[in-house]
Amino acid sequence: VDCSTILQEDCSRPQEEEDIMDIPLDDPEANRAAAKIQAGFRGHMTRKKMKPEDKAEGEEVIKEGKGRGKELI
């Protein structure tokens, strides 16, 4: 096999290391914005689980509370 025909690896993978360094971990504004978004997401997920067609999951939401002490601090 002619080595010169070996295809180069696709370089278009997202540069995740760089992205991670961009995450503003200590920025209070970013954290406040994230918390608001997360609150909206959590609200959505709870309501979705409680819809009649998801009765089993709705039951889980109702019971789940018991195990979540740590998480909610």
Partner 1 sequence: MAPKKDPKAAAPAKKAEPAPAPAPAPEPAPAPAAAPAVDLSAVKIEFSADQVEDYREAFGLFDRVGDNKVAYNQIADIMRALGQNPTNKEVSKLLGNPSADDMANKRVEFEQFLPMLQTIINSPNKAGFEDYVEGLRVFDKEGNGTVMGAELRIVLSTLGEKMTEAEIDALMAGQEDENGCVNYEAFVKHIMSV
Residues that bind partner 1 (CB under 8 A): 14, 16, 19-20, 23-25, 30-48, 50-51, 61-66, 68-73
Minimal distance in Å, beta carbon 7 to partner 1?
20
Minimal distance in Å, beta carbon 11 to partner 1?
15
Cβ proximity to partner 1: between 9 and 19 the closer is 19
What is the full DSSP assignment across 9-73?
Answer: PP--S--HHHHHHHS-TT-HHHHHHHHHHHHHHHHHHHHHHHSGGGHHHHHHHHHHGGG-TTTT-
Cβ proximity to partner 1: between 4 and 72 the closer is 72
